[in-house]
Chain A
């Protein structure tokens, strides 16, 4: 009989002095050093060879940025294991343990670490940093728009800021749930010891990390003045910053694709015994659908940006109307990525909200299978709606009708999401802790975002609202008010599991009210601007839009204050918060049944699952998983799986 004190934790393994090989010498600083040196060499070589040619500057920037990305990842250790394998060697068990962070303490967060929990935490901090940058840019935009002809920013800087605000937020929102939670929480939820491809997991983080410096470099290369959609042919003529932008996107797509493959394969193959597809927590389903949809969507972005680079640097003319190309080609391929991509952002956030609604209403997820059908329905339809972004481009007017049909059909599976939330709340026993606050805010915002989306799907109405501030307000309501509030609820819910400390709810609730009110004021201001006919992305505006803009800017400052307070709550709690118990919410998914902090490889005894995690009101709550539970005298806890005894289970994962 073992007790909790006798458990051998994998992270206590004593490694030999050479375990890890080259990984021992690599961390973020070697990554930065090798990346910068590599970028410099790339610049020297391309400058010497190509600067004199017609497309010199574009070629030089492209090569320099690509060299940075490859160099940084070489310096981090992304290529170590594949190269060893190519040379006929393989990682030893000790090497793998070292790469998973054994014997490195806090350093592992600065290294190429294959532990999914480290990667999840790295993503969380990185996403917060990205939101900091994107939010600061948003505040500069709103500050410029306080008065009709502000001199705060010149139009060149303003356009660059609008572009980078958009792209930073797109990158941040795509990884805000699939990064921290699908990496840290999801494998535990399905009873796995790690992701299916731990090295690819570490790679996905450090690759996306290396994508951001080129994005920020655009400010010093003339700025991208074409908006985050970078419509051709304007973007083909943009300054050299556009090449760095394209390298950023290509790198970003590699990361998201790798992460998407990893998520899908993990869920398909790494489930614990008895964790059938019908027993998966709804968040796992959402992560899988989101990840799979990303696999469909993101490669189109890579394709589009690759053609953009060749247009700019080598004189192909895919997108230049005057020499045989067509800007509509850019727009089509862009939105074939762009519309599924918003659901890549949204669906995992909705999954987190459903998980939270179930836990805090103390009820099963209502109509679980219908919810899954809703996710799959949204994902399937979302690949057939892209041209609704092009209703007013003049491309294929005959297709306006069909695309109006597919677009409005999406409101049926989206309506299912509301049914599931409302049904889960129905006659629940509502426990109003902080995550639930944000779940209610999600419900409020997402209705507004959804209804305004229906106006825009109607072609005659879209002919008025397209390209104006109404659209801006609409997608901020869905992506900020919906998806990002879902991610915030996820932070409030899983913070204690990820950091080992409780998030301070008093400060969190103050932040909540600022955020909730800030969103409404900011984006109702922008709806008002949109009704009045103010175009998007303008640095100056007609004084008739003054009051709406002032309302929006005032709301933006309230919103900023809310996020800063929330950030303070996170940092404060992370450092000084109350130590978290393993299951503060008395929830039933597997991540709550193991200790906090979570040990390396999560489960010392493989769990066996006998029912879905939503037996509220129906079956007694599961206890802590063996062998972490206090031993009971009459039984041997290390043999007891979750739920009923192992022999009762069919034992099959598909």
Chain B
């Protein structure tokens, strides 16, 4: 590339006090240019961005219905709504990046130029204009919205209820056992009465497992010598699966149990069939939910 040897001195803007980072003028020119909005690059990108955002929002609204399994609890609904809400917020951000990317390939690629030589240089924008500030403020605002949403939902999930049904969960390689305190029932199936807050008290007999009643939208690890707690309120009847979400050795894949959210009566019948005394079964199954906001505490505190 000997032909690339250029005059080293001419035209150089060198030196410490002039390091070539002052080109705000170019950008201000762009912002203030007199052309109508839609014939400028920004306007054309807006035309690409708008339908992309619309498609993103539509996907966010309708796709989750089709790919989530039936979510059977308040917490499952939280997961679902969070996914929809975050996707709607993400759509315009992803769309702006994609729109500029697509537009750059269409409009800013020099036509008919010899690919073995570089095209002429682009505008020497150094990013000293207001765009950086706008971007930072907008992304910070978005993050704050996400945080407020997330912390609000999370705090609401920590509210304890006065008539919670306690279920003890014991993980071991490679099966789940469920105990219903007050009865002698030990079951491999997880039966839950509908509309009754439930507190899972989880432990393990050997190593760490992940207790994941998938359709209830909650999970927590089962650790040996520790009791971990999660709460959920099943609000729809239906079958689900309890899986193990933490690799636990040879037959990790086979560590699952059937679950079922049933009516109070069916729940009582189940307990009796499993050997519980009818009185105890009725006592566990009968209570109706009442939310006690005053006794709200955070799990584990």
Q: How far is the CA of A458 from the CA of B230 in the complex (A)?
A: 16
Task: Tell me the residues in window 584-643 of chain A with beta carbons closer than 8 Å to chain B beta carbons.
Answer: 585-586, 610-612, 614-624, 629-630, 632, 640-643
In the complex, B260 has a CB within 8 A of chain A = no
Known contacts: A363-B122, A619-B11, A645-B8. The answer to whether A404 contacts B21 by CB under 8 A is no
- Among A234, A322, A392, A645, the residue within 8 A (CB) of B219 is A392
A420 to B127, CA, bound (A): 8
Structural contact, B246 and A363, CB atoms closer than 8 A: no
Q: Are A364 and B124 in contact, with the CB atoms below 8 A? A: yes
* Beta-carbon contacts under 8 Å, B61-87 to A: 64, 67-69, 75-76, 78-79, 82-83, 86-87
Q: What distance in Å separates the Cβ of B248 from its nearest Cβ neighbour in chain A?
A: 6
A419 to B136, CA, bound (A): 9
Residues of A within 8 A of B105 (CB): 430, 432, 440
Residues A643 and B122 in contact, CB atoms below 8 Å apart: no
CB of A339 within 8 A of chain B? Answer: no
Q: Tell me if B104 and A430 are in contact (CB < 8 A).
A: yes
User: For chains A and B in complex, what number of residue pairs have CB atoms within 8 angstroms?
Assistant: 366
Pairwise interchain contact A461-B121, C-beta atoms closer than 8 A: no
Q: How far is the CA of A592 from the CA of B127 in the complex (A)?
A: 25
Flag whether B37 is at the interface (Cβ < 8 A): no
On whether the beta carbons of A455 and B86 are closer than 8 Å, the reply is yes
Residue B34 at the A interface, CB < 8 A?
no
Q: Mark A425-453, 1 if CB is under 8 A from B, else 0.
A: 11111111100000010011001100100
Given A428-B108, A615-B124, A620-B11, CB of A536 within 8 Å of CB of B100? no
Q: Is B120 an interface residue (CB 8 A)?
A: yes
- Contact between A278 and B19 (Cβ–Cβ < 8 Å)? yes
Expressed in whole angstroms, the minimum distance between the Cβ of B9 and any Cβ of chain A is: 6
Return the CB mask of A32-43 against B: 1 if under 8 Å, else 0: 000000000000
Give complex CA distance A641, B217 in Å: 64
Q: Is B6 an interface residue (CB 8 A)?
A: yes
**In the bound complex, what is the Cα–Cα distance between A533 and B212 (angstroms)?**
9
B28 at the interface (CB under 8 A from A): no
Which of A55-63, A105-113, A299-307, A538-546 lies at the binding interface?
A: A538-546
Chain A residues whose CB sits within 8 angstroms of the CB of B12 once the complex forms: 610-611, 619-620, 643-644, 648
Q: Is the CB of B124 within 8 A of A393?
A: no
Given the complex of chains A and B, what is the CA–CA distance between A364 and B253 in angstroms?
52
Q: Are the C-beta atoms of B122 and A535 separated by less than 8 Å?
A: no
Interface string of A17-40 (1 = CB under 8 A from B): 000000000000000000000000
Contact across chains for A426 and B100 when beta carbons are under 8 A apart: yes
Extra contacts, 16 of them, besides A327-B223, A367-B126 (Cβ < 8 A), are: A225-B250, A233-B206, A234-B207, A234-B248, A327-B224, A392-B220, A392-B221, A430-B119, A461-B82, A461-B86, A467-B219, A467-B245, A612-B19, A620-B6, A642-B8, A650-B15
List 17 A-B pairs, Cβ < 8 Å.
A155-B250, A225-B247, A394-B300, A400-B154, A404-B150, A423-B131, A425-B100, A429-B110, A451-B93, A533-B69, A533-B212, A535-B212, A536-B245, A618-B121, A618-B124, A619-B11, A644-B9
Chain B interface residues (CB < 8 Å from chain A)? 1-2, 4-16, 19-21, 23, 30, 41, 64, 67-69, 75-76, 78-79, 82-83, 86-87, 90, 93-94, 96-98, 100-101, 104-105, 108-110, 115, 117-128, 131-132, 135-136, 139-140, 142-143, 146-147, 149-151, 153-154, 157, 202, 206-208, 210, 212, 214-215, 217-221, 223-226, 228-230, 241, 243-254, 256, 298-301
Closest 8 interchain pairs by CB? A394-B228, A367-B127, A467-B245, A610-B14, A617-B121, A538-B253, A397-B300, A617-B124
